[in-house]
């Protein structure tokens, strides 16, 4: 039964890839010669499901290192995140955990991974939040999704630099797609 589900998923992804007219594949495969094993597919799907309840907040200021303790930093972040995601139209937000990710860099706040109670809550927060003061709320992408998004943005910039002006970058389900602006 599980093998049938995998086969069906691969077929659906293959159909979607064909629709993208030669762009990189949906799962982040860079070209047709690269293959993804069943185990890699399972791992990717599990990772996406696990990250479904998460959001990433970028550019939320960190407290001054010299004046606060580690516990105070966590409290500061928790209060900042709670205030930020308390949005009109998003009810019953249950924040499970939040923490900074990455290494500390001078004058650049680290992103915060926020784990919420459900994937629906995470989606509602992303949809309802409008970027303010350079602070952004995004999906928690897997490495494969991050690589795919990077590859597409790089291809978009390359095509613009060679004079292809009839394209735009459109985000569908949090993943960028290059689309034609002709006949729109």
Euclidean distance between CA atoms 24 and 28, whole angstroms: 6
The pLDDT of residue 69 is 82
pLDDT tens for the 184 residues of the chain, in order: 566 666 776 776 666 665 554 444 444 443 443 567 888 889 999 999 999 999 999 999 988 777 778 788 889 999 999 988 887 777 778 899 999 999 988 889 999 999 999 999 998 898 888 878 889 999 999 999 999 999 999 999 999 999 988 999 988 877 788 998 886 5
The pLDDT of residue 4 is 67
Burial of 114 (0-12, 13-18, 19+ CB in 10 A): buried
The pLDDT of residue 52 is 93
The pLDDT of residue 176 is 85
The pLDDT of residue 104 is 86
Domain boundaries defined on the chain: 51-139, 141-184
Return the CATH class of domain 51-139.
alpha beta
Task: Dump the DSSP string for 70-123.
Answer: HHHHHHHHHHHHHHHH--TT-----EEEEEE-S--BTTBPPPEEEEES-HHHHH
The pLDDT of residue 17 is 61
């Amino acid at each position: 039964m599980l093998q049938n589900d995998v086969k069906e998923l691969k077929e659906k992804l293959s159909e979607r890839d064909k629709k993208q007219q030669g762009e990189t594949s949906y799962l982040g495969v860079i070209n047709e010669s690269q293959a993804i094993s069943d185990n890699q597919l399972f791992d990717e799907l599990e990772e996406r499901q696990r990250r479904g309840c998460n959001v990433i907040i970028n550019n939320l200021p960190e407290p001054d290192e010299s004046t606060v303790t580690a516990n105070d930093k966590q409290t500061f972040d928790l209060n900042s995140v709670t205030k930020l995601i308390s949005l009109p139209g998003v009810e019953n937000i249950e924040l499970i955990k939040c923490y900074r990710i990455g290494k500390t860099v001078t004058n650049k706040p680290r992103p915060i991974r926020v784990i919420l109670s459900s994937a629906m809550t995470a989606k509602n927060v992303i949809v309802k939040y409008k970027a303010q003061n350079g602070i952004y709320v995004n999906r928690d992408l897997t490495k494969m999704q991050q690589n795919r998004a990077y590859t597409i943005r790089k291809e978009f910039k390359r095509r613009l630099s060679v004079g292809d002006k009839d394209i735009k970058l459109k985000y569908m389900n949090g993943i960028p797609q290059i689309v034609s602006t002709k006949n729109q």
